[in-house]
Amino acid sequence: MTRISARLAGRAAEIGEAAWNACANPGGADPHPFTRHEFFVALEESGSATAKTGWRPLHLVIERGERIEGILPLYLKNHSMGEYVFDHAWADALERAGSAYYPKLQSCVPFTPVTGQRLLVAADADEAATRTALLAAGAAAVEQLSVSSLHINFPTEEEWRAAGDFGYLQRADRQFHWENRGYGSFEEFLGELSSSRRKNLRKERASIREAGIAFDWLTGRDITEAHWDAFFEFYMDTGGRKWGDPYLTREFFSRIGQSMSEQILLVMARRGGRIIAGALNLFGDGVLFGRNWGCIEYVPFLHF
């Protein structure tokens, strides 16, 4: 039988696009944008998720012979920022007990609180066996690297159960998702709301029109570097006001614009010919993901 092995491979670029995406999107169509090789490469090569920022890439791969059959996106971290799971109390408790919480291993998509596959398995591999191998190798890496723990953030429910069956501690969180129940129009959606909420939404939308706001919906080649320049200003303004140190570099946006533009919807708001606000969305796997936004001019009801 062909030998199965596990190793820590380092950066996503060192694994390669073909091998990574064969595991991240074995179906081939409508890929989840945040598990794509292109997204991880953009984060790491742009300087957003690197050892210098406290995100050292150590992606774990399972190989059969020389072929990669499974990947666990993995980072060695010395802080808990950018994870959207707030475990600072755990770190404090462990320190009070006389031990160290950092460094730790973190399996997630940096700066992205979106549920998705974390145990990435190639289409023609044994899924259950490869998942078990990834979980076992992750636990072994904790011992090998002498770190406190391994955390897997925002996995699918199936992966969450598989990790629990293997012996991982399970935790639960709550998110709010909007689902399109086959609405033929926005008015049809409003029809499901209470009278007061319908009235408020119509009033807010009318206020935006009266303020002279127009919107551009951009995707693919329609997104230019000038658009990214404007959007990065919005992003920095929001980040500076909310947490003081935005995670993503300007280069990151150029990189996803070059490699993933077909899965990007950039909505820009204009008033009097001047772009004053924007929202970055990515789409795939049947979902529209709203990720980053911001503005440089206050207009009531515009921000969201």
Establish whether domains 4-166 and 193-295 are of one fold: yes
CA end-to-end span of the chain: 56
CATH topology of domain 193-295: Aminopeptidase (3.40.630)
Task: Specify whether the CB–CB gap between 266 and 223 falls below 8 A.
Answer: yes
Work out whether the CA dihedral 253, 254, 255, 257 comes out positive or negative: positive
The pLDDT value recorded for residue 28 is 80
**Alpha-carbon distances of 297 from 161, 238, 239, rounded to whole Å:** 46, 12, 15
The pLDDT value recorded for residue 303 is 78
CA atoms within 13 A on the CB side of 267: 16
The pLDDT value recorded for residue 1 is 61
Which residues lie closer than 8 Å to 1 by C-beta, 6 or more apart?
none
pTM confidence score: 0.95
The pLDDT value recorded for residue 132 is 97
C-alpha 66/C-alpha 5 separation (Å) is 9
CATH number, domain 4-166, options 1.10.10, 2.60.40, 1.20.1070, 3.40.630: 3.40.630
In this structure, what token pair is assigned to residue 199?
Answer: 């009235």
SS3 25: coil
Spatial strand order in the sheet of 274-284: 213-218, 264-271, 274-284, 287-295
Domain segments of the chain: what residues?
A: 4-166, 193-295
DSSP assignments along 53-104, one per residue: GTEEE--EEEEETTEEEEEE--EEESS-TTSSS--HHHHHHHHHTT----SE
In this structure, are strands 4-8 and 67-72 parallel, antiparallel, or unpaired? unpaired
> What averages of pLDDT result for each successive group of 10 residues across the chain (304 residues)?
89 97 91 97 98 98 95 97 91 94 98 96 95 98 97 97 97 90 94 96 96 97 97 89 80 98 97 95 95 93 81
The pLDDT value recorded for residue 304 is 62
The pLDDT value recorded for residue 242 is 62
